[in-house]
Structures are given as C-alpha cells and as structure tokens.
Structure 1
Amino acid sequence: MSVLTDTFALSNGVEIPKVGFGTWQIPNGPLTYDSVRTALDVGYRHIDTARAYGNEASVGRAVRDSGIPREEVFITTKCPAEVKDAAGARHAFERSTALLDLGPIDLYLIHAPWPWNHQGSDHRAGNIEVWKVFEELYEAGRTRAIGVSNFVVADLESLIGGTSVVPHADQIRWYVGHTQPETTAYCQERGILVEGYSPLATGRLIGNEDIDLIAEKYGKTGAQVSLRYLLQKDVLPLPKSTTPRRIAENAQLDFELSPEDVAALDALSPTGA
C-alpha cells in the first residue's frame, strides 16, 4: 500500500485518498493542466480545486485526458466565499460542475464563513441557507460529500445547530507551528475530517533548520517530514507545486516519524508562521 492509495473514511463511509494535490494559485491553462497530469501520473488520486481558483476547466480536462477511470479520482471543489444565499449556491455548483465536466463532485465545500474582503463578518444565516442547498445536492447524489473550509469552532457550531447534515470535512490552514488545536480537536471528536491546506506554510517551512535536522535521520526532505507530520495527526495534507520533481517528492511519504520527532515538531514555532 502506498500513502497515495491509502484513504481516510468520511463519516458517511465515503473514502478519500489520504494525500490531495492542491491547485490554489495555479493559473488556468497549461500550468494547471500539466501540474495535474503530472500529479496523476505520479499516482495522486485526489485533486483539490475551487471556483475561486479559476482553474476548474483545466483540472477537469487533465483528469479526463489522464485515462484514469473517473471513479478512481477524488475531486474537491468549493463554493465561492462571497456566496451566502441559496440561489448563488445553486448557480455556483452548476458552474463548477459544467467547468469540471466530470459528473458528480466528490466533495463540495463552502470556501469560507465570510467573504474574503470582509473576514470575520457575521454570515451565520447565509451559511445555513447555503448549507441547505448543499444538503439538497448531497441527497440528490450530485456530490458524494459536503463540507466547509476556514471554519473555526463557533462557525461549525452555528452551522451544525441550524442544519441536518454535519459537515464531512473542514479544510483549514494547517502546518508545523500552526495546527489550530481547538478547531482540530472539535472536528476530530465529531468525525469531521480535517484537511490541511498550505501544509508547507506556502513554502516558508522549506529550509527550516529544525525540520531539516529531523529529516536527515530519515533520509527525507524537510517538506516530506512536514507533510508526514499531518498524516500522523490524522490531518489530510494538500501539498501544491508546479515542479514535477517536487510533485513526486511530496507524495513519497511512506515512512513513520517517531513519537519523539512528532513531539519535537509539536514544539516548533517556525519563522514567519
């Protein structure tokens, strides 16, 4: 078994590959297409995108052209953060589905609890309205699982209190030195899978001396140790790269960190984090 074929089970029984390939900040067109094709060729079977990334069409084309059966690739996309009403949510889902052109979505997320230009503003009622549309899409089989992104405990409690389906996943910023312990514990106690985006702190962990010292023991890179750390915390990493060598390297996580090294990483507060 490879870490790329290992899965976490969502609370509804749907299996999600333990490592995802992230596409945030990769522009639509050849760069997204080539990166996703490389990831699929290396063995990734979980691709993460969003309407806001503007690259769903290239992601979909890369998956279709790969020759890999659709049911073997797990696709996540997200409803834009600024959409906080039912009509907007329905429109966003139809648009994403059309651009991806891959049939049902595997996991559909609310991208954030508030619009990006009004972070921290109160959209609890809007999130509930959007979630009720998500529940309809889920019941209709148009998405196999539904979840949220960037939600902290208060956001989750509000949503769960006003709706029927507990989110299957919460995708949050998660890396060595920034592990969101309160949200992570809340989710894991309730069977909500935590997915970690920016698992290398958008590159800031590369070259971290403390991490590199641990990596030397295993004959691995600091990036590989940083990603393995998430897996040992039952958090799903979503590494992103456009460099073929790094795309392959980020998937080579079939090793085990010792409890002592995990504890050392727990204690780190990386520069710039």
Structure 2
Amino acid sequence: MKRMDYELVLLDADGTLFDFDAAAAAAFAACGSESGIPDASLIFPRYLQINHGLWADLERGGIDKESLKSERFRRLFAEFSLTVDAASFSVRYLQLLATQAPLLEGAEGFVRTLKESGVRLAVVTNGVASVQRGRFSRSPLGALIPELMISEELGAEKPSRAFFSEAFRCLGRPATDTEGVVVVGDSWSADIEGALGFGLDAIWFNPARKGRPDGARPEVAEAASYGEVLALLGVASVWK
C-alpha cells in the first residue's frame, strides 16, 4: 500500500462514516413508542427537516447545542399538536441514539485501509458528546479511531476556527502546523468551509452528488465514494 502525503486525516462522523438517518430513525421510533406517539415513523421525515435546519443554525451561531436538543422536538410536537414533553423526549432520544451505530456501507473497510497506511486518524464532529462516544464504543471504528474531537467537549462548533484550534491543541499539534492535514466530510458548510478557514486541505465526501453551493471554491477535491477518497489521498487499494 502506497504511503500518502498526508500525515493526519480528520474525518467527520455523521454522513461520512455513520448512517445518521438510520440511527435517528431507530431511536426516534423507539422513543416515540415509549411516549405513546402513534405511527411515529410518519412524522420522522419532518423531524429530519427541522433537525437539519437547527444544526445549520448552530453552525452559524444562531442557537446553542443545549437549546437545540429539545427545541427540535418542541417545534415538531407543536406542528403536529402532540402533547409530549419535548425536554423529556430529548433526554430519552439521546440515550437511545447513543446505542445506534450503523455505519455507511464500506465505512469500516475505508477506515481500516487508511489505518493500515500508517496515517494518523481523528474524528471531528459537532455531535452530542454522550451520543458520539456511545456510538463509537459500540462500533468497530472505536478501536480504529481512538481520538474523537467533539465540539461539545471542545467548546466550539465546526466550522469555527476555534473548533479546529482546540482540536489541534488536543492532538498535540500547533495551530500553525497545517501542512499534511486534510479534512474529509460530507457537510460543505461545516467540514469544508471549516477546513478552508483554518488553512487545511479538504475533500468533500459527496456520494449523493449534490451540486456545490454558490461561491464554492472549485479547487476543493470531491469524492463520491470511499474509493475515490483513497485515490485522492494516494492510497492504493482494491476499492472502486
């Protein structure tokens, strides 16, 4: 296996390694059943829309994470006239979500290939700390990527410079030492803009082949599969 030029690869978690929608669907269904919500699966797509919007607000600094945890359910239940306590539902939902660790197809092999190349791996995520640590502990990725940089523990969210500065500190790397570091993630706003703003290289993981945002820098590499990510990193493998 060819050794890559990068010495540190920072991987996003949800949507890059974990199948967040599948995990959320399972946790939401179980929590909905416990809370007496009939046919909870019918309102789950709307939950995803609300949740996505609030996480986008979080990245822009429009809401804090503690408020987000229950606000998404408060809005959902109000919209469907459900008399369910949003705060209590949120607590239980996060407990259940921490037990759900489905990976995207090929994620484990992708990470193992990177690990075997000798590169240092770390996760950079805006997720809830208890959830992310719970999921990694239940996943084969936990042993492959022991270093988790979680915004809730770092005190800053992607895409802020503060997030990456604190992540570098935790990794024992000077904030000015950006050579040889690349971020791989599926969120242009959080992962790619965050990486570029800190002076890091980035690979946009885009299996859905979404269009680039207006004004997106054209030089940013894009990959629709794990095999394409490995090729961009210069790692020889059997991946296609």
If the length of structure 1 is used for normalisation, what is the TM-score? 0.31
If the length of structure 2 is used for normalisation, what is the TM-score? 0.34
Query: Relative contact order, CA 8 A, sep 6+: which one is greater?
Result: 2
